[in-house]
Structure 1
Amino acid sequence: MKTLGLIGGTSWHSTIEYYKLINELVGKEIGSQANPPLIIHSINIELMREQNKEKINTTYLEVSRKLEQAGAEAIIICANTPHMVYNYVQPKINIPILHIADAAGKEAKKLGLKKLGLLGNKPTMIGDFIPEILQTNYQIETIIPEVDYLSQAHQYVSKELTQGTFTEEAKQFFLAQIDLLVKRGAEGIILGCTELPLLIKQNEVHIPLVATTDLHAQMAVDFILSEKETGKVILR
């Protein structure tokens, strides 16, 4: 098995979910007698709250280099928003970062979806690090909630979900946003906050949910097992 580096901490709740999923999925393939080699570096979530892009880029580059030096053969960032560093960090290291948008894009393409609603915190929804890859690599259009709802969505994510709080009020808010996005033509919904799949389940909505956590974890497992199965892995 290949060694994978995980950058977590934003939030630690989602990092636990990634660690759990990766181990479970590998176990399904090779049996419970073994588990994958993983190196985890947990970043203080306060870094993201400071919204200092230069500091965020520098920190993620420093951590990525440490993981590479420690023997990681690829890196997975255990959250959506920190993928804003991808274009800065990836050219400066010698191992691939497995991008969460690729995991979402491959699933959406398999489902035949051409227009996706994107839910998450405000930096994820208004940023281009997910829509750009979806449009360029998979010809998928991305839409986000109306501007009046962006701040409220961000509050639920940053003040509740990333703190491990999952309320009925938050669930109803995001279910309402899904309905509004569907009315604007969304054929599926990207749950672009790693904690959102813990709040909203597929059986609660009538259109496909593209749950980035599960798909990203599967992408990680495909990499970990790729040498054993095929001798190579195809990356973007």
Structure 2
Amino acid sequence: MKTLGMIGGTSWHSTIEYYRLINELVGEKIGTQGNPPLIIHSINIELMRKQNKDEINAKYLDVSLKLEQAGAEAIIICANTPHMVYDFVQPQINIPILHIANATGKEAKRKGLKKLGLLGNKPTMTGDFISSVLRSNYDIETIIPESDYIVPAHNYVSKELTKGLFTSEAKQFFMDQIDLLVKRGAQGIILGCTELPLLLKQKEVKIPALATTNLHAQMAVDFVIDGTH
């Protein structure tokens, strides 16, 4: 098996979910007698909360280089928002970063979806590091909630979900957002916060819900098993 470097910590709840999923999925492939070689570097979540882009880029490059030097053959970033560093970090290392938007785009294409609603925190929804990959690589349009709902969505993610708090109020808020995005033409919903699939389940959503955590973990497993990415 290939050795995978994992950058986690934003939040540690999502890092645990990635670690669990990757191990479980590899076990389904090779049996439970073995487990994948993983190198984990956990970053303090305060780095992301400070929102200093240069500092974030520098930290993720430093960690990526350390993982490469430690023997990682690819890197997976265990959250959506830190993929903002991809364009800065990837050209400066010699191993691939498995991009969460590619994992999402492949599944959306398989399902024939051309217009997706994106839910997550403010940087994920308003940035282009997810939408640009979906547009350029898969010809998929991405829409986000109306401006009045961006801050409330961000607060639910940053003040509750990333701290392991999953309330009925948060669930109802995001279910309402899904309904509004459907009215604007969304054929599927990107659960673009690693904790959102822990809050919302597919059976509760009337259109395809693309759980980025699960799709990303499967991409990691495909790499570990046969080197594809």
**Same fold? TM cut 0.5:** yes
- The reply on whether 1:52 has 2:82 as its aligned counterpart is no
Correspondence for 2:107: 107
Correspondence for 1:222: 222
Per-residue deviation, 1:213: 0.2
- The reply on whether 1:28 has 2:40 as its aligned counterpart is no
In 1, Cα distance between the equivalents of 2:21 and 2:205?
23
In 2, Cα distance between the equivalents of 1:211 and 1:143?
16
Q: How many residues align?
A: 229
Correspondence for 2:212: 212
Per-residue deviation, 1:70: 0.1
Give runs of aligned pairs for residues 149-160 of structure 1, distance below 5 A: 149-160=149-160
What amino acid is aligned across from residue 84 of structure 1 in structure 2? M
Deviations 1:72-126 (A, max 9, x none): 0000000000000000000000000000000000000000000000000000000
What amino acid is aligned across from residue 10 of structure 1 in structure 2? T
Secondary structure at the residue paired with 1:216?
helix
Per-residue deviation, 1:19: 0.1
- Give the gaps of 5 or more residues in structure 1: 227-231
In 1, Cα distance between the equivalents of 2:205 and 2:83?
27
| TM-score in terms of structure 1 length | 0.97
Correspondence for 2:163: 163
Per-residue deviation, 1:205: 1.2
Give runs of aligned pairs for residues 141-220 of structure 1, distance below 5 A: 141-220=141-220
Secondary structure at the residue paired with 1:6?
strand
Secondary structure at the residue paired with 2:27?
helix
What amino acid is aligned across from residue 6 of structure 1 in structure 2? M
Give runs of aligned pairs for residues 121-132 of structure 1, distance below 5 A: 121-132=121-132
| TM-score in terms of structure 2 length | 1.00
Correspondence for 2:87: 87
In 1, Cα distance between the equivalents of 2:206 and 2:33?
38
Correspondence for 1:9: 9
Per-residue deviation, 1:211: 0.4
What amino acid is aligned across from residue 46 of structure 1 in structure 2? E
Correspondence for 1:133: 133
In 1, Cα distance between the equivalents of 2:148 and 2:29?
45
In 2, Cα distance between the equivalents of 1:54 and 1:153?
25
Per-residue deviation, 1:219: 0.1
Per-residue deviation, 1:217: 0.1
Over 3 Å off, 4+ runs: none
In 2, Cα distance between the equivalents of 1:56 and 1:165?
25
Secondary structure at the residue paired with 1:171?
helix
Per-residue deviation, 1:142: 0.0
Deviations 1:36-58 (A, max 9, x none): 00000000000000000000000
